[in-house]
Each structure stands twice: as structure tokens, then as C-alpha cells.
Chains A and B, each alone.
Chain A
Amino acid sequence: MAELNETIHQTVRLRIMAALVTLETNEELEFTYLRDLLEVTDGNLGAHLRKLEDASYITINKTFVERKPRTYLSATANGRKVFSEHVAALETILKSK
């Protein structure tokens, strides 16, 4: 039986993962784009992203586009797997209602 993941379950991190797993596996989301989607501050988003990166659920790719610094984010294969397990665990709990 799938288990809930404490790192992912926090509200903002759950929404970050939901956004990132929506992308194709070869796509990345830009930091400010995700920040606007989530309606959170830069600092708040940055803190949650570090936790997800430490757990190897996401990849943070810092680069330059037209001489401007850009940060791109994507879910790792492990992150996608853990997220789907978390969703399955949530559905199991809901069915037991």
C-alpha cells in the first residue's frame, strides 16, 4: 500500500509538485512563471524548492537566457514516482471514508 510522503504533503510543496508533474518529462518551468502560478513570494518558493531538491524530487537548473539569469525547474523521475504514490495514498484514505 502506498504511503503518504511528509515532504510532499505540505501545501505549497504539494502544489509545486502538481505543477511540475503536469509538464512533459523533457520540459522545465521557469521560476517566476511558477511563482505567479502559485501566487507565493520568491523567498517562500525558494525555501520550498530547496527542500524538494534536497529530497531529489526536483531539479533546479540555473542558467542565462539572453544574458539574464534564469532558473528552470523540473520534477525528477523519482519525484514523479513519489508524487504518484502520494496521490494513490490520498485516494486510498478518501475511499476509506
Chain B
Amino acid sequence: MNISPTEAEEALTAIQTMMQKTRRAISSSGAYKFLILWGAIWMVGFLGSQFLPKEMAGYVWIGLDIMGGILSAIIGIRMNRGVRTSTPTSSGKRIGIFWLLLFFYCFAAVAVAWPVDGKQLAMFIILFVTVGWIAMGLLLSFASVWWGLALLGLSLVAYFLLPDIFYLLMAFLGGGGMIALGIHMRNRW
């Protein structure tokens, strides 16, 4: 079988493209779902903190966090169903368990530190979610690690330097930014 160098180059390009596409599909197929989910939770939760009475906003957050923890676990377990591994515990299940544990750690940390005000409670949640985000980034899609760190930085700046508009910043820049990044990741390939 004989082919020209041009045909060989085209074949190698096709191979490289397919390998890259497969790697991306496997690595980022579920990461965007976490971003959209937690972006939506942050947006609703922080808008509640800004505009609802304090006690009611607290209940909204508790409900949203329970829902977020459960949905994150489900997303983790269902991730990468297109890829099956012969090892007994799939990475999807481990990711699901990780999010459940992180949720309980967050709950425990808030309980230990109680009483906390609304902003402190929000910062606890932000710290734990960004830890989860960065861990997911390190495992699945390294580029998103920087976005997680940026969100963490923004949150700390808003918490310490801009307390009056902390909730609004978190709703639109934090929550909105996470949703936009999730949609961008989903549409990338």
C-alpha cells in the first residue's frame, strides 16, 4: 500500500484530532453540569440573601444546598457513562462520594462555627464549593482550576472589601459566571 506524504499528513492530522476530541469528551463531559448547577444555586441563593428577610433567606440556602449536594452526587455517579472501566469502583462513583462528603464537611464546619451571620455562612459555602470545584478541575479539566481560583479570589475581595454589595456580586458575577463558564464548556466541542 502506497500513499503520498500529503495523504500521510492528512491521516496523522485526523488521528490527532480524534484523540484530542476523545480526551476532551471523556474529561469534560460532566464538569460543565456541576458549574451550571452550582451557578444556578448561587444566583438564586444570593439574590434571596439580598432581598428576602434574613431568616427566610437562611431556609432558602439550606434547601438549595441540600438539593445541590444530592444533585452533585447524582451527576458524579452518572458521569462518563460512555466509558466503562474494569476496575471495581468507577471514577464517577468516587466523584459522587466526594461531593457527598464535602457537603457533610461543610455542614459540620458551619455547625462547629455556629452562630454565624449570613455573609459568614455564604463564605463557608463558597469555600467548600470552590474546594470541590478545584478538585474536579484537577481531576477532569485542568483549565477550570483557574476559574475556581478566580471565583475564590473574587469572593474573598467582596467579603472583606465590598460587604454592602457582597450578595449581589456573588449572585451575578459568581453564579452568573459559573453558568456562563458551564455553557461555554458544554459548547466547546
Q: State the A residues within 8 Å of B (CB).
A: 3-4, 6, 9, 11, 14-15, 18-19, 21-24, 26-30, 32-34, 37-38, 72, 87, 90-91, 93-94, 96-97
Name B18's contact: one of A6, A18, A23 (CB within 8 Å): A18
| Contact of B1 with A18 in the complex, beta carbons under 8 Å | no
Task: Closest A residue to B86 by CB, please name it.
Answer: A26
Name B21's contact: one of A4, A9, A37, A72 (CB within 8 Å): A37
| Contact of A9 with B84 in the complex, beta carbons under 8 Å | no
9 A–B pairs (Cβ distance < 8 Å), ordered by A: A3-B1, A14-B11, A14-B14, A19-B18, A22-B18, A27-B85, A30-B84, A34-B82, A91-B8
Asked if B22 lies at the interface with its beta carbon under 8 angstroms from chain A, I say yes
**C-alpha gap A96/B2 in the complex (Å):** 13
| Contact of A94 with B22 in the complex, beta carbons under 8 Å | no
| Contact of A27 with B19 in the complex, beta carbons under 8 Å | no
| Contact of A18 with B15 in the complex, beta carbons under 8 Å | yes
CB-CB nearest 10 A-B residue pairs: A33-B82, A97-B5, A18-B18, A93-B8, A22-B22, A26-B86, A30-B82, A19-B22, A90-B8, A18-B15
Size bin of chain B's contact surface? 20 to 34
Secondary structure type dominating chain A contacts: helix
Asked if B187 lies at the interface with its beta carbon under 8 angstroms from chain A, I say no
Name B12's contact: one of A28, A37, A38, A91 (CB within 8 Å): A91
Flag B1-43 by CB within 8 Å of A: 1 or 0 each: 1011100110110110011011101100000000000000000
Name A37's contact: one of B25, B81, B84 (CB within 8 Å): B25
Asked if B87 lies at the interface with its beta carbon under 8 angstroms from chain A, I say yes
| Contact of B83 with A19 in the complex, beta carbons under 8 Å | no
| Contact of A4 with B5 in the complex, beta carbons under 8 Å | no
A22 to chain B: closest CB distance in Å? 4
**C-alpha gap A94/B13 in the complex (Å):** 12
| Contact of A93 with B5 in the complex, beta carbons under 8 Å | yes
A-side contacts of B19, CB under 8 Å: 18-19, 21-22
